[in-house]
A and B are shown apart, each in its own frame.
Chain A
Amino acid sequence: DAGVTQSPTHLIKTRGQHVTLRCSPISGHKSVSWYQQVLGQGPQFIFQYYEKEERGRGNFPDRFSARQFPNYSSELNVNALLLGDSALYLCASSWGRSRNSPLHFGNGTRLTVT
């Protein structure tokens, strides 16, 4: 079975632009979470969606938004990019809500903002 897939793998954007990152969960998983990882630190929670509803939101500005589609895939959108948004963006899926099931991560999208 395929794991969590993310696209694109790498992306270079300019300050002020918009970006959309995509994620397909493991087949049968209904929960998708997004995390941001900057160099040298642990991943930081951005959003969790379960059964297409937002179930959790981290301490990120409103420039960050996400949604989950009927097939459980997900998009993360970031508007008005800042240099500080440069990071590895990780998508994770689980079969249930996070407190009940292990999280499985994709390989991430490396975003560079210049």
Chain B
Amino acid sequence: GIQVEQSPPDLILQEGANSTLRCNFSDSVNNLQWFHQNPWGQLINLFYIPSGTKQNGRLSATTVATERYSLLYISSSQTTDSGVYFCAVELVGGSEKLVFGKGTKLTVNP
């Protein structure tokens, strides 16, 4: 099946720092989404981005489908950005399921 690899697995930042999270996938995909799971377990959709670039405030994401990767940029990080960031993809010709990576655990210290 499709492999979704996220890096780094863990990231510790000081408040105000910038970071880049990466998602590599092994096959062509219809759909790619980024999620943030906060320390209380709530999973929030950040971006629906099968290709191209999108920005939302301090966050932006870029997907290069032909090269099978996506990047999530966090600028001027805040303590509320802490949590786990998941990339999830849907395989072309797949059964409409999203396959999640193992996530990047981000800790932002004050």
List residues of A whose CB falls within 8 A of some B CB. Answer: 33, 41-45, 48, 50, 55-58, 88, 90, 97-105, 107-108, 110
Contact = CB atoms under 8 A, between A and B. Distances in A.
B48 A99 contact: no
Contacts of A110: 41
Contacts of B65: none
Interface in B72-110: 86, 88, 90, 95-103
A82 B40 CA distance: 25
A102 B90 CA distance: 12
B96 A99 contact: yes
Contacts of B41: 88, 107-108, 110
A74 to B, nearest CB: 15
A103 B33 contact: yes
Contacts of B86: 42-43
Given A98-B31, A99-B30, A90 B43 contact: yes
Given A42-B88, A45-B98, A107-B41, A102 B103 contact: no
Contacts of A58: 97
Given A99-B90, A104-B45, A107-B41, A56 B103 contact: no
8 contacts: A42-B101, A43-B100, A45-B97, A98-B90, A98-B96, A101-B48, A102-B45, A108-B43
